[in-house]
Structure 1
Amino acid sequence: MSYLNPFTKTIYFLLFYLFLFCNINAQSRYELNSGWKCINYKEVKQQGEKISLPSFQLKNWKNAVVPGTVLTTMLQNKEIPDPFYGMNNEKIPDIYTIGKDYYTYWFVKDFEEKQPTSDQQVWLHFRGINYSCEVYLNGHKVNTEPFKGMYLRKAFNITSYLREDGKNRLAVIVFPPDEVGNPNGGQGGDGTIAKNVGLQYTAGWDWIKPIRDRNTGIWDKVSIEKTGSISIQDPHIITLVPGKRKPSGSQMPAIIKTSASLTNSSNEAISGTLEYTLENQKISKQVTIAASSTIEVALPEYELKHPKLWWPANYGAQHLYTINLQFIPSDKKQIADSDSISFGVREIQTTWNAITRSREIAVNGQEIFIKGGNWIISDAMLRFSKERYDAEIRFHRDMNLNLIRIWGGALVERPEFYEACDRYGLLVFQDFWMSGDCNGRWEDPKKLDDQWTRRQYPDDHHLFLESAADMIKMIRNHASLAMWCGGNEITPPDDILTSLRDSILPKLDGTRWFVDYSNSDAMSYNFLGGNGDGPYGIQPTDSFWASRTWPFNSEVGSVGVGDIESLKRFLPIENQTPPQYLGVSENGSTKEKVDSVWDYHTYISYGAHINAYGAPKNLEDFAEKAQLVNYDQYRALMEGFSAHMWDWYTGTIIWKTQNPWTSMRGQMYDYYLDPNAALYGLRSGSEPLHAMYNPVDGFIMMVNNHFESRNNMMLVVKAYDMQGKEYPLTQVFTYMEPSSVKRIISLKERISELSEKEGLFLSIKLLGSDKNVLSDNFYWLPSKNGNYDGLNHLKRATLQVKTEKISDGTVQVTLTNDSTNTVAFFNRLSIVNAKDKQRILPTFYDNNYVSVLPGEKRTINISTAEKNIKGSIELALEGWNVDKVYIPIKK
């Protein structure tokens, strides 16, 4: 390289060594996520020391799914039918009946890793097993102490166990939960599933049937990591953002506090430097770690100038910083260990609102009106992936929500879930794994033990606290994590609660609010009686506006049946029969004839709401009308709460926004990631700047969730009859104060007059100074008798459809309705494979179930991952009064 000048040579060598270090770090950790074998432990007589020898023959062993469960492996090997389809779950032996031996399995993985010759250390990491296990490697038992508890991560130094030739075998025997519970139809079955430190939903709930193996298996990641003699563990980053900030403009400094545990695996003391670089500034500290010991190291606080802040969705950008924390021994031969950490600069605060008598959540000093969804788990059989997490969290962002609550009968969500929430700006309310149904809040004849006994579940309090501490360390660096919660609808036992609240959380986090249980008076004062949450069934839409509920409702929900495409994915042909509404009984309950498979998949009644559109003729008709109800329900729910922002409410969390299996209740999209109309109704009602119609008093209202005032806007309200005739109602300039609600004008008398005979369409648009649409809300209102008879007499409308591919995976669709037409009502768009007309999932629409007014043009952007597209694709379009068409989309 004699032809290079000295400066160029220097740059070349710096880049070369940077490349070298990057490649070393990139290879320092890898997953053992394929090539596993398994067998029921009864089929082998040898012990782990023998099975884990590479020479041991794996005759008759079958392919295993790891990460996964015994059930996912059995499904992969076609030993069981899909438990999410029809009544197939009833064909699978339940562990309570058949015994735990049936689901006790050996898992084996051969991998290559030579025994290091230098001071390098090799670690075996488990991120989750259920429920206990023994671990063997190359004839040696690795875990000298019991390895039990679904939520515990474990790391083992396996350096001395590795073979010189690099041919290694890992063997793990996994035992089911100590208590599997009787799935007797109760919430959590007979409740004894809660005696473990693990999932409670697996014995069944009112939204799911029992998971037959209780999720036994190596359910989360297994990985190999290589470090030097010093390893970095559980780094912790705290960001302090003093004052009241705005998303834009110049920012005052923020404080970054960083710490980590350093473990010395050698038999001699090691000195060196723990450091990271941020914004071209190096922050470091010299330390000495004694032989065979672990110390906690806090680096000097760093003042970050002009920080780019992280905000929840719809309030600002979700900027994320990344640092590379590394330890360099004093001899500077090489980096001993490094860890790349992503974080957002933000601070979470909470205050008590004396007007609503509930907790307010603030980010960077700004109050956030909470619009949330309850989350169970991504997949009931624990088949997690970054791609699925990304899709589900994106759906929540697209619904204009800003918070997800992780329900306490499941788990502390995985880092990949939190990474998606960081990207999309969803705050997270994280429960610990405890629920009032199993843990003794209520007397319940289906439970085996009495309330006093269940109140002390789980059996091993130490394991609960150890697991809680470990999970806190796992996710505490995520900007999206906003709140900790002791349990679902119940506090933990006193000793667990005290340790969590007063010791563990202050020591390991100390930056987030902890509420003792999900509907606690400390979060939302219960002045109404009852449990402090709900209701859970379908409601008249005006009740969300007129009936005051709890001021920060942790659970309020409704229906959620998918459309015809969704239903056919899991309903056998012989069960594709819609429910038949039979009226109301003397005690006020709904009478309905429901197919057994619908009942098994936890259908809840729509009552008379569907019949208001006319009695369903068949399943297709029922599913289409259900979407009208879904859209109206969830829009009204969020509009009603928003109409009383800071007056009655500081937030609400919908029960629930998703299902981890093929349930029919409480979902904005189905298990297969196909949205129903509820998603788009909620998206409309949750707009951060929103114009809306109050069905109780007829007022046109506006809500502004932004931190800034909005001036020089025009509100335009028009009505349309069933023939498409336009009736201008008002057109007025207006403005909005920050984070406020405003009543504009009552149009109740005129709307009642126009809608009396056939019902009415109502268009409410809010325009900006450049005449761009800031909010576009469209209602269909019933006639005087409360029915939607007029919709059944709508003339057919023909839309002009134009499609244009504007980037890889993104299509822009323009719908134009001729001015001579009536309203083209409630149009569902889908991207489908041209050959079989099946929908491509997941696909994301910036609007759907759209109505197009006479003479109007609507534009919808649709995106899906290119890898999901196989062959030619088409746009499918069908509306209430628009015939179904397929339009080719050019690549």
Structure 2
Amino acid sequence: MHIMVRKLLNVTGLLLAPFLPLAAQSQYELNSGWQCNNIAKVTVKGEALSTPSYKLSGWMPATVPGTVLTTLLNNQLVPDPFYGMNNERIPDIYTTGKDHYTYWFVKDFTEQKPAADGQVWLHFRGVNDGCDIYVNGHRINNATHFGTYLRHSYNITQWLAKDGKNRLAVIVYPPAVVGDPNGGQGGDGTIAKNVGPQYTAGWDWIQPMRDRNTGIWDKVTIEKTGAVRIKDPQVITRVPGIRLPEGPQAPATLIVKATLQNATAKVVEGALRYKLSGNTISKKVTLAATSMTTIDLPDLELKDPKLWWPSGYGPQQLYNLQLEFVDDNGIDDTEDISFGVREIQTYWNGHTNSREVAVNGQKIFIKGGNWITSDAMFRFSKERYDAEVRFHRDMNLNLIRIWGGSLTERPEFYEACDKYGMLVFQDFWMSGDCNGRWVDPLKKEDQWIRRRYPDNHSLFIESAADQIKMLRNHASLAFWCGGNEITPPVDILNAIKDSLAVLDNTRFFFHYSNSDSMSYNAIGGNGDGPYNIQPMSVFWNEKTFPFNSEVGSVGVGDYESLERFIPTANMKAPENKKGGVDSVWDYHKYIPYFNHLDPYGKPKDVKDFAAKAQLVNYDQYRALMEGFSAHMWDWYTGVIIWKTQNPWTALRGQMYDYYLDPNACLYGNRTGGAPLHVMCNPTDGNIFTVNNTFKYHTDIMLQLTAFDMAGKGTQLTQVFTEISPKTVQKYLSVKSGLDKMGAKDGVFLSARLLDKDKQLIDDNLYWFPDSTGNYSGLQKMETAKVQILAQKAGNDSITVKISNPVNGPIAFFNRVSLVNSKTKKRVLPVFYNDNYISVLPGEEKLVTISGEAIGQSGNIVVTVKGWNVPEQIINIK
């Protein structure tokens, strides 16, 4: 069966209704009912196999979109490669040979031959790596299609069966060079000879994908049109001047163009048109037989436009435009385009020696995260993309960089970034590790040869142009980049520049991810990185790249996260000594915490280790974001964390685990990256405010209070201040007072900003060790006797109120979880407006839990567990 999906207009109230009914136009996805078989078991050729009458015997259900490994896993023929050491039990294509993962995929579908000039098109959005395609006994592609990233479309009208019962058969070939997964970055590097993802041969955050992600990994669709098809429409918005999110807007200019394909053997006359905000824009067109023509429509001056802004700076207003081609027979084709009205500018900041980014004329301090891909086995979904991008928004980030050893991310990812206000920095598909930047004894070939990878330059160039056309209408797409830490070979580099000049001249192109055009590393700088746990002084006091494309730390999840993929026998706390890491932890790329947990008391077991790791996680990422923000526009114009997520069950650099369970890294980053924020340099006690908004804030109360372990507060200062837009301000040092108060047991510092109505704007709680560097006071804190109330606030939201009575200690570092009452496991994914929270004596805090999973789950309860709060299970009222 297939699911019929109309090309629907997603009405927002801003825009248009269709000109005419669209009864004849439709598009649907072939996403179920596929069967597959290994090439060794198929004895007929594609012409015979694709004949609907040919009987399929012994074939298994196939997952499309998906990889061969996904299908094998779903049929229980291989173990879950994300669990334990299971990946070692799956044969690797380098050893088995490519035929082991070469499969035929077959799909029966119903589609009648269209009447008159109607056309039916078969679209593939991604196949890795080569394929031959057959419909109803006919080979459709004259030459084998290659290219992981290259879309391809075929007019199958003439091959459709008279009775409407059709069969599609596709043989998918693995990459030509699969590479030896010898433990290097990209294995022996030869995986980069293909135009495809390089991480599949293994990296320092993932083990190799055994099939190298062979498969029909992205959508297959059928589209029905009239004589003329609209291809690759483009919407460009020009927003002159310096804008603010609020108030009336000066006009913006809308530029729309599209390619029209006349599939018939006769001349077609018609009009390309759209309607927007009460304006109809149209152009008459005469199309020669079997021709392809790009049409530029007249520009539209859009009055009082609703602008799109990055997260934290303003709303993400989106328009929907329906482009139509109409002739004497009615509407031949429509394309629905979602876009945001915005303009991205970049400048060279001569003070920092780095690229500065502006949106709608306003400079933006970049707070970004590096992204690999959503799932290492390409099991993508709109819902997962939405959840992951939402996590980035919730971290108070405003940019995601797509790392070059992976993909051009899917349109559904970009839709989520449009929705949540994430700018995107999109690399093309190469990395210095595989492509020869460094000498590497694990690589099969030397730098001179690797520098010429991939083998097929023209395929890379064609794929880059195609992906530009696929993604260029997204408001979130901000930058293109030639590759990770290396430029493409010069002919590819020049061709990408030429393509961008013609296809998308609205975005800055970085030659490579840490190029001098992004960030000039002046004398005294330390380059990009570090990548592992650091003293907080490093993030605050040691200057690095002025626009750092990769800097990060640790990211082990808590005990429940570890349980999901580490077998019970291997649940052992790592020790800071040679041989102190379990083999499974090592296999999942654990980064040491060294002795950073010891000040909290040496971990007693793995559960204690994971709990204390969250304190370090929170502190690390809060310090990272605050340290860079404290030097905004002086040392830095931006920072991009390496990295925010893992597409596999790795134990490093992540704000949430593969299963979408956030850890304390996310909330430390959320606190440190708050748009209007007060913060303390932990090394010298200096207090700063940072304002990452366009607003001038007056009558802001800066409130600093120290608390001892018993909860007694001592006010250090309380003063009204004014905070200018896009600035950092330094106030005073509280180091001497904190050192004195915390010498014996350590001390808490509550740093807050309140508005003139005494409403809390920003809340930041630090915990400092005693004079020996240990958290001795935390280790003997009294239990906080909190009261907790959980209440349904809607079908998909719950509020949790934690109240801490007076005359007691701070209720410190509490994790709130939504849990299935029967399985005792967390409900995922859900979203917490804050977590790992602390509540001062005599105060209360509200945590809001939201997400569709709430309404879809029965038997749910809330649990709360903190440093000095025993776990409580709370029924939801």
**Short-chain TM bin:** over 0.9
Query: What corresponds to 1:270 in structure 2?
Result: 268
Find the counterpart in structure 1 of residue 514 from structure 2: 519
CA shift for structure 1 position 158: 0.1
Q: Which residue does the alignment assign to 1:310?
A: 308
Change (3 A) 1:181 1:531: farther
- Pair 1:634-2:632 in alignment: no
Give the distance between the partners of 1:529 and 1:200, measured in 2 at CA.
Answer: 33
Match status 1:612 vs 2:612: no
Structure 1, residues 279-331: CA drift from partner, whole Å, max 9, x if none?
A: 010001001110001000000011000000000001000000001000011x2
User: Is contact 2:525-2:544 (8 Å) kept?
Assistant: no
Q: Which among 766, 773, 791 is matched to residue 760 of structure 2?
A: 773
Amino acid at match of 2:678: A
User: Is it true that 1:681 corresponds to 2:677 in the alignment?
Assistant: no
1:106 aligns with 104
For the 8 Å contact 1:537–1:558, the answer to whether it is kept is yes
Matched, 1:486 2:482: yes
Residue 867 of structure 1 and its aligned partner are, at CA, apart by 6.6
Counterpart in the other structure of 2:442: 446
Match of 1:352 among 348, 351, 354: 348
Query: What is the letter of the counterpart of residue 513 of structure 2?
Result: S
The yes-or-no answer on 1:399 pairing with 2:395 is yes
Q: 2:224 aligns with which of 219, 223, 226?
A: 226
Which amino acid is 1:42 matched to? A
User: Which residue identity does 2:547 align to in structure 1?
Assistant: F
> Following TM superposition, by how much is the alpha carbon of 1:478 offset from its aligned partner in structure 2, in angstroms?
0.1
Change in 2 beyond 3 A, CA 1:540/1:94: same
Q: Paired residue for 1:148, among 146, 149, 152?
A: 146
Q: 1:835 to 1:528 in 2, by over 3 A?
A: farther
Residue 811 (structure 1) aligns with: 798
1:768 shift after superposition: 0.5
Aligned partner (choices 278, 281, 297) of residue 279 of structure 2: 281
Which residue of 2 is the match for residue 136 of structure 1? Answer: 134
Q: For structure 1, which runs of at least 5 residues remain unmatched after alignment? A: 1-16, 583-590
Aligned match for 2:658, one of 671, 683, 693? 671
Greater Cα shift, 674-683 or 695-704: 695-704
In 2, are the aligned partners of 1:840 and 1:868 still within 8 Å (CA)? no
What residue number does 2:176 align with? Answer: 178
| CA positional deviation for 1:172 | 0.1
The question of whether the paired residues in 1 share the 8 Å contact of 2:795 and 2:854 is answered with no
Structure 1, 174-183 or 789-798: larger mean CA deviation:
789-798
- The residue correspondences of 1:191-340 to structure 2 (distance < 5 A) are 191-329=189-327, 331=328, 333-340=329-336
Q: What is the CA distance between 1:530 and its match in structure 2? A: 8.8
SS in 2 for 1:788: coil
Change beyond 3 A, Cα 1:883–1:81: same
2:564 is equivalent to residue 564 of structure 1 = no
Q: State the distance in 1 between where 2:272 and 2:41 align.
A: 50
Q: For residues 846-874 of structure 1, what are the alpha-carbon distances to aligned partners after superposition, in whole Å with 9 as ceiling and x for unaligned?
A: 00000111101111111121476332210
1-structure distance, mates of 2:524, 2:434: 22
Q: Separation in 1 of the partners of 2:854 and 2:279?
A: 40
| Residue identity in the other structure for 1:275 | R
Provide the C-alpha distance between the structure 1 equivalents of 2:61 and 2:707, rounded to a whole number of angstroms.
62
How far apart, in 2, do the equivalents of 1:267 and 1:752 lie?
A: 85
Equivalent of residue 777 in structure 2, options 790, 797, 800:
790
Q: Which amino acid aligns with 1:316?
A: G
Q: How far 1:664 sits from its partner (Å)?
A: 0.5
Distance 1:764 1:531, change over 3 A: closer
Root-mean-square deviation over aligned CA pairs? 1.2
Query: 1:84, CA displacement in angstroms?
Result: 0.2
- 1:358-507 alignment runs, 5 A limit: 358-501=354-497, 503-507=498-502
Q: Distance in 2 between matches of 1:221 and 1:869?
A: 27
Residue matched to 1:553: 548
CA contact (8 A) 2:134 2:140 kept: yes
Aligned-partner Cα distance in 2 for 1:19–1:888: 52
Cα shift readout 1:580-629 (whole Å, capped 9, x = no counterpart): 123xxxxxxxx561000000000000011011111100011000000000
Q: Give, in whole Å, the separation in 2 of the partners of 1:475 and 1:59.
A: 41
Following TM superposition, by how much is the alpha carbon of 1:769 offset from its aligned partner in structure 2, in angstroms?
1.0
Q: Residue type of the partner of 2:39?
A: Y
Where does residue 21 of structure 2 map in the other structure? 21
The Cα of 1:820 is off from its aligned counterpart by: 2.0
How far residue 469 of structure 1 moved from its aligned partner, in angstroms, is: 0.2
Moved more, 217-226 or 791-800: 791-800
Shift of 1:708: 1.9
Match of 2:871, SS? strand
Q: TM-score, normalised by structure 2?
A: 0.97
CA offset at residue 117 of structure 1?
A: 2.4
Q: CA deviation at 1:697?
A: 2.0
Query: Given the alignment of the two structures, is residue 841 of structure 1 paired with residue 839 of structure 2, yes or no?
Result: no
Q: Is the 8 A contact 2:238 2:342 kept in 1?
A: yes
1:197-236 Cα deviation digits (max 9, x unpaired): 0000000000000000000000000000000000000000
> What's the CA shift for 1:531?
8.5
Give the structure 2 partner of residue 864 of structure 1: 851
Decide whether aligned partners of structure 1 residues 868 and 209 sit closer, same or farther in structure 2, where only a CA change above 3 A counts. farther
Corresponding residue for residue 7 of structure 1: none
Q: Give the TM-score normalised by the residue count of structure 1.
A: 0.96
Which secondary structure state, in structure 1, belongs to the residue aligned with residue 870 of structure 2? strand
Give the secondary structure class of the aligned counterpart of 1:882. coil
Aligned residues: 861
Instruction: Give the aligned residue type for 1:625.
Output: K
Give, in angstroms, the shift of residue 119 of structure 1: 1.1
Q: Which residue number in structure 1 is paired with residue 8 of structure 2?
A: none
The answer on whether the counterparts of 1:484 and 1:515 sit within 8 Å (CA) in structure 2 is yes
Q: Secondary structure at the match of 1:634?
A: helix
- Alignment deviations for residues 725-749 of structure 1 (CA, whole Å, 9 cap, x no partner): 1111110000111100001111111
Q: Shift of the alpha carbon at 1:799?
A: 1.0
Aligned to 2:751: 764
The equivalent position to 1:65 in structure 2, one of 63, 66, 87, is 63
Cross-structure match for 1:541: 536
Are the counterparts in 2 of residues 233 and 261 from structure 1 also a CA contact under 8 Å? yes
Aligned equivalent of 2:3: none
Cα distance per residue 1:69-106 (max 9 Å; x no partner): 10000000000000000000000000000100000000
Residues 549-594 of structure 1 show CA distances to partners (whole Å, capped at 9, x for unaligned) of 1100000010000000000000000000010123xxxxxxxx5610
Q: Distance in 2 between matches of 1:827 and 1:429?
A: 35
For 1:869 and 1:48, the matched residues in 2 are separated by: 44
CA distance in 1 between partners of 2:869 and 2:817 (Å): 14
1:644 to partner: Cα distance: 0.2
Once the two structures are superposed, residues 166-219 of structure 1 have per-residue CA deviations (whole angstroms, 9 ceiling, x without a partner) of 000000000000000000000000000000000000000000000000000000
Deviation (angstroms), 1:699: 1.2
Contact (CA 8 Å) 1:579, 1:592: kept in 2 or not?
A: no
8 A contact 2:272–2:285 mirrored in 1: yes
Q: What per-residue deviation string (whole Å, max 9, x for no partner) do you get for residues 114-156 of structure 1?
A: 1112211000000000000000000000001331100010010
| Secondary structure in 2 matching 1:474 | helix
Give yes or no for contact 1:538–1:559 (8 Å, CA) kept in 2: yes
Checking the alignment, whether the CA contact within 8 Å between 1:592 and 1:605 is kept in structure 2 is no
